[in-house]
Amino acid sequence: MEVAATPPRRPRSVHVSAEMECADSSMAVEPEPMSPTGRILEEMGVCIVVLMGLGTPVNLPVFRAGIETELVTRFPRFRSVQVMDGSKDGKPGWVQTKVNVDDHIVVPVLDPAAVVFDPEKTVEDYVASLSTLPMDRRRPLWEFHFLDFPTSEATSTAVLRLHHSIGDAMSIMTLFMASSCSTADPARLPAMPPPPKRTGAIYQPQPRPALSSLGDYLAWAWSYFVLVWHTLVDIILLAATVLFLSDPRTLLTRGDNGESHRRKRFVHRSISLDDVKLIKTTMNCTLNDVLVGVTSAALSRYYFRKSGHTNTKSICLRSFVPVNIRPISSRQTYVTKVETGNRLSSLICPLHIALHNDPLDYVRKANRSMHRKKSSLEVMFTQVVGELLVKCFGVKIGAFIFHRLGTHTTIALSNVIGPAERITLCGHPIVFMATSIYGQPQALTMHYLNYGSTIKVIMAVDDAQFPDCHQILDDFAESVKLMKDAAVLSNLTIST
C-alpha cells in the first residue's frame, strides 16, 4: 500500500547572490568558500537522510525550539545558503542568512488506512518519496519531516534530509552529540565512543627503529618499498576504473549505468554490537573487517539464491568506500567545537561474492583486503588529485570522475560511529538512528551506524531493482548469527 500523500514539490531554484541572502546589512557578504569535496557533492546532487525513531510522540513546539536553539545555533551550515556570486573568484560559497525554522519543518498528511495497515511500509514509502523531490535552494538545504504514529521500533519518527555539501556523516553525528544529552542522565552530555586507534591518516608510517641489527633496518626499509609498490598498483587501478575498468554485470549492478536518479528505498535492521565484537575478538581484526565480511557473506547468500547459479566460483566485485581524513576524530573534541564541511577521501576495495563452508572465511578475506589497503597511499592520492582537478579544471570534471568511479563499482560501503549511549535530542529520546544517502550512482549502498549497544545495517537500494530488499536484511542477520556460532565454536575448541 503506497503513501497517499507526499511532501509538495518545491520549485528548484537557481543559485542566488550573496547580497540577496545576507541576514542583515551589517553582515559580511563575502561567502565562506565551499570545499572541493563539497562542490563535487553539490554538483552530483547527493543528499543525506537520517531516520530517527523517537521514544515519545512528537511534541512539535519542543522539537522546533530545540532545532532553533541547538542545531541552527551550533552549526553555521544550518543557517547558510549556497551562492555563486559575491566571492572574489566567482566560486561557490556559503553565506549566512536569516532562518525561519517553520520553513524547514514538514508534517505530511498521510492515508490513515495505510498507517494502520502497515506503519513500517508507510514510513519507508514516505522516505523513499523524498529521494525524488528537489530541495529548495533559496533556503538552507535541510529539513525535518515528522511522522507521528507508532511503528514496531518507535513511538514516532523524525527524518532529517540535508544536502551532502553541508557536511559529511561524521560532522552531522558530531553535531547530534554536541546538541543532545544522555537519556540516562539528562544533566550531562552523552558518553563519547572510545577513542579510535587511528588518529591520523589511514596509513601510519612506521617509526625508524634503532639500528640494533641489519635485519631491523631492512625490515623498516622493506615496509616503505611495499608502500610505494601498493600505491602505484592502486593508482593504476584507479585510473583504469575511471577510463574503462568496470565490475562484471550481476544482479547487484545498476542496469542503467547510473545516469538517472531513480527512487531509492531506505531499509534497516539492528544487529548486536556484542556479537560483532565477539567475532572481532575471535578473528583478531577490526570491527570494520567484520562488517565488510558480513556484507560479503550476506550479498553472497542473496546472489546465489536469487540467481540460481550452481557455479559457486568467487566473483570479485568492488566497493566504493568513503574515508574520514580528519587527523583527529572530532568526536573527541565536540564539547568545544563542532566541525563543519566534508573531510572525505575514498578507497576502492574488493568485495568477494562466494559460498564458503566456514562463515569466518568471509572475515578472513575482508581482513586481508583491508590490511592491504592500509599499506597504500591511495586515500591521500585520491584526496589530493580530486582537489587539484576541481581547482584546475572545474567541478564538472571532478564530479564526472567520481561519477565514473561510482558507475564502474557495484556498491558504496560506509561505517559511521554514533553515540555510545542513548541520547535525547531536542527534548525527544532517540530509540534508533539510521543514516544513508541518495544521489550516488550505485544501485546498492550500505551504511553501518553504531548506536549504544546495537549496530544499524542501513541499505539504500534502487526501488525498482531490489523489490525484495528485506530479504537482503534477513541475509545480514543470518550471516551474523552463523559467524557468531562459528566464533563461539572456535573459542571452545581452543579452550579445550
> What's this model's pTM, rounded to 2 decimal places?
0.89
170 contacts 52 by C-beta, under 8 angstroms: no
Is 130 within a domain?
Answer: yes
Provide the pLDDT for residue 340: 67
Distances 438 to 187, 260, 261, 268, 491 between C-alpha atoms, Å: 36, 12, 9, 15, 41
Is 387 within a domain?
Answer: yes
Provide the pLDDT for residue 207: 61
Kindly report the CATH number assigned to the domain that includes residue 237.
Answer: 3.30.559.30
Is 115 within a domain?
Answer: yes
In tens, the pLDDT along 450-482 reads: 999 999 999 999 988 999 999 999 999 999 999
Provide the pLDDT for residue 210: 65
Is 70 within a domain?
Answer: yes
Among 182, 200, 220, the domain-final residue is 182
Residue 403: active-site member: no
Is 408 within a domain?
Answer: yes
Distances 93 to 88, 99, 336 between C-alpha atoms, Å: 11, 18, 25
| Active-site hit among 145, 164, 352, 403 | 164
Provide the pLDDT for residue 208: 62
Is residue 262 located within the same domain as residue 405? yes
Look up the domain containing 55 and give its range.
16-182
Ranges in the chain, pLDDT < 70: 1-29, 85-90, 194-212, 256-260, 311-312, 327-340, 495-496
